[in-house]
Amino acid sequence: MSIAIYNPVCGNGTSKSFLEEEVIPLLDRAHKPTPKIIATERPGHAGEVVKEALETTEGEVVVILGSGDGTFHEIINFLSSSELKGRRAGATLSKLYFALVPCGTANALFSSFFPPLTPESSNETTYKLQSVQSFIDAKSAIPLTLAISTLSSSPEKHAHPKAVVSAVVVSTCLHAAILNDSESLRQEIPGIERFKVAAHNNIAKWYSGHAKLLPAAKVGVVEVYDPLMKSFEPYSDGEDDVVDVYGPFAYFLSTVNVDRLEPSFRITPLVKDITPVEATCDLVMIRPLRDPSLSWDSSETRQAFKPKLMKALQEAYNNGNHVNLTYNDKGEIVDRGDGPPVVEYIRCGGWEWVPDDVDGSAHLLCSDGFMSTIEKGGRAVCTAATPKEDAGFMVYA
């Protein structure tokens, strides 16, 4: 059976009309049964609706989802943490299929599977109907890799860690600050411009903490992209497979499944350009003190680094060219020079983020736009996981 769910408040609020005027007629023309259509009534509702659909039917369920990434995130988290009853009582969740209709603000998942030819084409009707068309054409759906983040409090508290499942992005530092602030700008600036405004307000911050990078199971080592070789290389030739990296950090963001967070912002382009061989996180770190012209953290050096960080991130809009930027010996940013890369582009099985207690802003964690706060003395551990053969979240792409 199929069910159509839309979030009436996502993006610019046109999901209902797009579903009724474009998606349902397309299914009708293809002689597909008309799905039951349900509007989400509140945050969290989408997960309940899908769970009920699973519990009241047998066989394959296809969700036609008119929303952004946040609603998708709610569904996978709700299902990952609840037990099915009814017709599937006691059963573990088998495959669940999605045809995505990009009605959100950023639509990272959809635009990674269906990269727009031009920024404008992401608003065209035929562009937005591609995943539904793949479902109609019975194309094979793609299983998603999931990033499982566990947030632990300080060991003295003996509290259970909290788990969050993501299908797009897990971040801290600048990206988490942007997502945190941009929510309050939603009414005022409904489009992706609100992310730029929030970025501008946070660009001069640095974050204190340290990270451990964990190798992926098959490859066995943490890898880093070498822009000159155009390939991934082992991060270190030390004996320990776990790599420790120390701050301050300006940017720390990892993705699964996606090479972009908005139609043109290709922050992890190598997800598509050098496809991973197993479930991995592609992690982008920017650590300002790698800049040869800076040697300590002060308000002056933070200001001096601001235009460089902006330049590096701006290049992500240039087909992900930030991964090729290097410093020269004066600390200027050049394309594929022989100095250190500005961006450390890591491929790993997961990572651990330990924020410094004194830096409150380093405690924010963003999972697909959903914000969490790491407690004082706590940490977040994120690992990439592939679903079992007969289970998982599948997307028509």
Q: Which parts of this chain interact with ligand ATP (CB under 6 A)? A: 7-11, 40-43, 45, 67-71, 74, 104-107, 369
Helix (H, G, I), strand (E, B) or coil at 323: helix
The interaxial angle of helices 173-182 and 193-202, nearest 10 deg, is 120
Half-sphere exposure of residue 102: CA atoms within 13 angstroms, side-chain side: 28
CB of residue 338 to ligand ATP, shortest distance in Å: 39
Asked if residue 172 lies in contact with residue 206, where contact means CB atoms within 8 angstroms, the answer is: no
Main-chain dihedrals φ then ψ at residue 366, nearest 5 degrees: -110, 125
CB of residue 67 to ligand ATP, shortest distance in Å: 4
Instruction: List Cα–Cα distances, 164 to 96, 372, 395, in angstroms.
Output: 19, 9, 20
- The dihedral through the CA atoms of 201, 204, 209, 210 has a sign that is positive
Instruction: List Cα–Cα distances, 361 to 169, 178, 213, 305, 381, in angstroms.
Output: 18, 11, 21, 18, 18
Comparing CB distances to ligand ATP, the nearer of 261 and 394 is 261
CB of residue 316 to ligand ATP, shortest distance in Å: 17
CB of residue 71 to ligand ATP, shortest distance in Å: 3
Q: What angle do CA 164, 107, 348 make, to 5 degrees?
A: 50
Q: Output DSSP code: residue 23.
A: I
CB of residue 194 to ligand ATP, shortest distance in Å: 10
Distance CA(80)–CA(78), nearest Å, equals 6
Q: Which of 388, 345, 379, 371 is nearest to 255 (CA)?
A: 345
CB of residue 27 to ligand ATP, shortest distance in Å: 21
Comparing CB distances to ligand ATP, the nearer of 168 and 362 is 168
Comparing CB distances to ligand ATP, the nearer of 276 and 369 is 369
Comparing CB distances to ligand ATP, the nearer of 107 and 326 is 107
Comparing CB distances to ligand ATP, the nearer of 106 and 325 is 106
Comparing CB distances to ligand ATP, the nearer of 74 and 352 is 74
Comparing CB distances to ligand ATP, the nearer of 42 and 158 is 42
CB of residue 42 to ligand ATP, shortest distance in Å: 5
Asked if residue 33 lies in contact with residue 2, where contact means CB atoms within 8 angstroms, the answer is: yes
